[in-house]
Chain A
Amino acid sequence: MTGISMVVNGRAVSGDVEGRTLLSSFLRDDLRLTGTHVGCDTSQCGACVVHVNGKAVKACTMFAVEADGAEVATIEGEANADGSLSVIQQAFQDHHGLQCGFCTPGMVMSAAALLKDNPKPTETEVRDYLEGNICRCTGYHNIVKAIMAASGQDVSAIAAE
């Protein structure tokens, strides 16, 4: 076992983990931050996306030991300090960008990473950026719309409710 410590959502945490412990397991099983989901084992679905030192990564494809000393942000830390939904989260609700909710944490974390790098993405840029996040419910229409709306763009011309 290896002792590790990191800052997760602004809070210092530590734990003892095996070499093979994935960051996703450390978050879910040790820290009980179960918002980070695991939907595949080939690093494709993106339900587990979190930020490590400000960059989106797949928590199921990184060892917890590798995040030793890092700043980690998960979906549990995405809301505003007063507990209200962040701009991105609110846009997902406003535009019905989620159904079953399982891919949602990864979608929101990817969206946050995208908008940090590219504050006004085009539709194509949003779709390209979501290449590593699979949603089976929404057909992506309302996810793309929500992310564009969260960036402050007018999405009223995009079809349907």
Chain B
Amino acid sequence: MPKDSGIGASSKRREDLRFLTGAGKYTDDINIHGQTYVHFLRADVAHATINSIDTTAAAAMPGVVQVFTGADFEAVGGIPCGWQVTDRFGEPMQEPRHPVIAHGTIRHVGEIVAAVVGETLAQARDAAEAIVLDLTEKPAVVDMKAAATEGSTKVHDDLASNICYDWGFVEENRDAVDQAIKDAAHVTTLELVNNRLVANPMEPRVAVGEYSRSDDMHTLHTTSQNPHVIRLLMGAFVLGIPEHKLRVVAPDVGGGFGTKIFHYAEEAFCTFAAKAVNRPVKWTSTRSEAFMSDAHGRDHVTKIELAMDADNNFTAIRTETYANMGAYLSTFASSVPTWLHGTLMAGNYKTPLIYVNVKAMFTNTVPVDAYRGAGRPEATFQLERVIDKAARERGVDPIALRRQNFVTEFPYATPVAVEYDTGDYEATMAKLEEIADIDGFAARRAESEAKGKLRGLGVNCYIEACGIAPSNLVGQLGARAGLYDAATVRVNATGSISVMVGAHSHGQGHETSFPQVISEMIGIPEDQIDIVHGDTSKIPFGMGTYGSRSLAVCGSAMVRAAEKVINKAKKIAAHLLEASDADIELKDGQFSVAGTDKSVAWGDVTLAAYVPHNYPLEDIEPGLEETAFYDPANFTYPAGAYACEVEVDPDTGKVTIERFSAADDFGNVINPMIVSGQVHGGIAQGIGQALLENCAYDEDGQLISASYMDYAMPRADDLPFYTVDHSCQTPCTHNPLGVKGCGEAGAIGSPPSVVNAVIDALQSGGKNVTHIDMPVTPARVWEAMNNA
């Protein structure tokens, strides 16, 4: 029987009540008395020298409070990057200044050139049109390979080149890998593009800055996945505001998918300007602004080689990737193509030798950073596409080839510096074969063919590293922050509980799933427990929500804090029951003395903690509140196997997803309903990447897909019902909940199976097509068929 509460129950989400009734409170719903509005004048050219900016006329326009330019921000810091990557020659990456407002040079379309603060948004926008810019345009750097060549125009004149870093991993393996590839019985090579995407959470970004002269307090309300990270980066690095004078609030946030991790110029601007004009300053992004100011994702160009011996055992992998950074380094940009990508190149397979080379390139485009999966989808796509191609070249079954090379013993130390603690790839593959009805595929293909359609089946595996991250390890790798998390469990006198967590919920359902854990531990109803998040003034600390880390890291902190609370409560109970601490047991909200019928209720113990009339005051303090910080011992390694079936219309090239199945191993699962929902959403984004989404620039650095008119978002009629399963569970061995994380899996695991399926369909139709770059649009399929 499924449980109806606690760990493992599909508890309905309590946060839904406000979202379903229009009572959610998103940042744009916040309006503060006396508030002003900012309109940002954004660059409409990709690369130019700013000779002068004349704001005189604009400043005199009706309703204008103040006009700001780059000069106003010269004295403050630039937007920082949180991760320093060391290149393969031992040198630190090139790190350009990232100004809040462009100063001297424009480096991408959409970069802020000036900001007008006005009484109304319309007045601010009117005035922005009166700003006179004198620009000298420069050639735009768009193509990454061209950008790497000697003599290319430079995005940053003060840097040596457009190469941010040339990273080799593991550099010591380089020669051995080269040799293994030379010696291989067979080498499969694939060149591919991991297409540039825009995360597109449905809520555009918003920032409202506030300043209180009475206590010199700054407050920023912002659409962030991690308010403490914003406080740290903006306070310490950009504006020089100490933490105790800066509060960052991220209320209900309408989706993030990575792009709301980063600290953005607009946040710094609104905080800075609120003090300058001594009034609140609000910015609400339009969707059009979002396309040219939210950090983009992916954008890798890769060559991968897979070497095999005569028996089709994988012997080596070598990759060469160009990774787009855009014009500046966004918060975690440098870590994505390196430590979040290279470390996953082993996938689910026991390949003994791997070498990953990544050249990170500056271009005159919007900064690129983490988007759902962040580096791991890029690794998975290369690997699972090249394996499929290898299977075809070797004439073997793609599932069998994978099985033959699976890692089967755990823990497993990969040649790319991580150790998988646990997993069972055979189990997820077997489960996939069952739920996807692989055996029935031939009959379904025959049905499609009878209708004049081509049908293909694509399968892939994936592994990811979540639970980011062990601080001492990532510190060695260049992270400029610790990546632990924190929680405070505050038990109130009557026994209800508020848990202040560093994780931020913007769709993940923490308000429901986190209380399930506490409820299980203490045995009180879930509705007696509330989660508080998203406000640096209310929660102890926290690195926020990204990389499928919330439960694995922050949830673990919450468990540790709850354990401290329970230990203390047991001492109080022991006192009340006149027994020894060691004999006290907690079950179903009752403390009892082992082997007796003596017991005291949770609520009586918590009341005693706050009304300590009969209380061991000599031994313990009154009150019942504990905080824990949790730093993970390792990453977690969710893994799984996915299958996609497509129909291809040979006349138009249109691909239709007919079936999609996912068998995941997330370790223990707290709320299966929520976990399935996370997988569904990830799959939709992965299918979107594979078939629809394409963030494209022209050679002048103009963004071509700059709105929903050209950027194809997956819609309900593009997608099928999915079959998902997470019954294969190998619990994480090193966190107290045994959980691994499920947020990104769908987006990581789905693109290769979609493309593999399309290739399979075309091959079945006699077309010798071996690869089509994503998005696999009808036009690209048609062209590939014509050229085959």
Binding site for B on A (CB under 8 A): 20, 28-29, 33-42, 44-45, 47, 74-76, 78-79, 85, 89, 92-94, 96, 98-105, 108, 123-124, 126-128, 130-131, 133-145, 158-161
Contact = CB atoms under 8 A, between A and B. Distances in A.
B721 A137 contact: no
Contacts of B136: none
Contact of A99 (B288, B681, B721): B681
A131 to B, nearest CB: 6
Contacts of A135: 202, 716
B13 A136 contact: no
Nearest to A86: B20
B12 A99 contact: no
B195 interface: no
B254 A102 contact: yes
Contacts of B716: 126-128, 130-131, 133, 135, 140, 143-144
Contact of B16 (A40, A74, A92, A159): A92
Nearest to B31: A29
A155 to B, nearest CB: 10
A160 B719 CA distance: 16
Contacts of B24: 35, 101-102
Point out which of B20, B31, B287 has the most chain A C-beta atoms below 10 A from its C-beta: B20
Given A96-B674, A137-B255, A160 B201 contact: no
Contact of B202 (A85, A134, A142, A144): A134
Contacts of B16: 92-93, 98, 101
Given A34-B22, A139-B685, A161-B10, 15 more contacts: A41-B286, A79-B21, A85-B21, A93-B16, A93-B20, A96-B12, A96-B673, A100-B203, A100-B507, A101-B18, A134-B713, A136-B685, A139-B680, A139-B714, A144-B721
B676 interface: yes
Contacts of B31: 29
B134 interface: no
B697 interface: no
B202 A39 contact: yes
Nearest to B2: A161
Interface in B357-397: none
Contacts of B13: 93, 96, 98
A160 B708 contact: no
Interface in B666-682: 672-674, 676-677, 680-682
16 contacts: A33-B22, A34-B25, A34-B28, A34-B29, A42-B288, A42-B707, A89-B21, A98-B16, A98-B19, A99-B677, A100-B253, A101-B18, A105-B22, A127-B717, A139-B719, A144-B716
Contacts of A74: 22
A149 to B, nearest CB: 13
Contacts, number: 194
A139 B715 contact: no
Interface in B208-226: none
Given A139-B719, A144-B716, A161-B676, A42 B709 contact: yes
Contacts of B506: 100
B253 A40 contact: no
Interface in B658-717: 672-674, 676-677, 680-685, 707-709, 713-717
Nearest to B21: A79
Contact of A93 (B12, B507, B674, B683): B12
Residue in A20, A79, A85, A139 whose Cβ sees the most chain B Cβ within 10 Å? A139
B202 A47 contact: yes
A126 B506 CA distance: 26
Q: Which of B200, B201, B685, B721 has the most A CB atoms < 10 Å from its CB?
A: B721
B509 interface: yes
Q: A-B pairs with the 5 shortest C-beta distances?
A: A35-B22, A101-B19, A102-B254, A139-B684, A100-B507
Contacts of B29: 28, 34
Contacts of B719: 127, 139-141
A124 B721 CA distance: 11
Interface of B: 10, 12-13, 15-26, 28-29, 31, 122, 200-204, 252-255, 257, 286-288, 506-509, 672-674, 676-677, 680-685, 707-709, 713-717, 719, 721-725, 746
Nearest to B505: A100
A34 B18 CA distance: 12
Contact of B677 (A35, A78, A96): A96
A36 B714 CA distance: 22
Nearest to A135: B202
A7 to B, nearest CB: 17
Nearest to A43: B708
Given A100-B203, A108-B20, A136 B681 contact: yes
B17 A85 contact: yes
Contacts of A79: 21
Given A35-B23, A74-B22, A96-B673, A45 B17 contact: no
B21 A100 contact: no
A93 to B, nearest CB: 4
Contacts of A127: 716-717, 719
Given A79-B21, A131-B717, A94 B12 contact: yes
A110 to B, nearest CB: 10
Given A101-B252, A137-B255, A141-B721, A75 B708 contact: no
Contacts of A105: 22
A134 B254 contact: no
Contacts of A92: 16, 20
Given A79-B21, A159-B722, A140 B684 contact: yes
B255 A136 contact: yes
Contacts of A35: 21-24
B20 A39 contact: no
A128 B672 CA distance: 28
Contacts of B20: 75, 78, 85, 89, 92-93, 98, 101, 104, 108
A45 B287 contact: yes
A98 B254 CA distance: 11
A79 B722 CA distance: 30
B681 A138 contact: yes
Contact of A36 (B12, B22, B722, B725): B22
Contacts of B17: 85, 93
A131 B718 CA distance: 9
B23 A158 contact: no
B34 to A, nearest CB: 15
Contacts of A89: 20-21
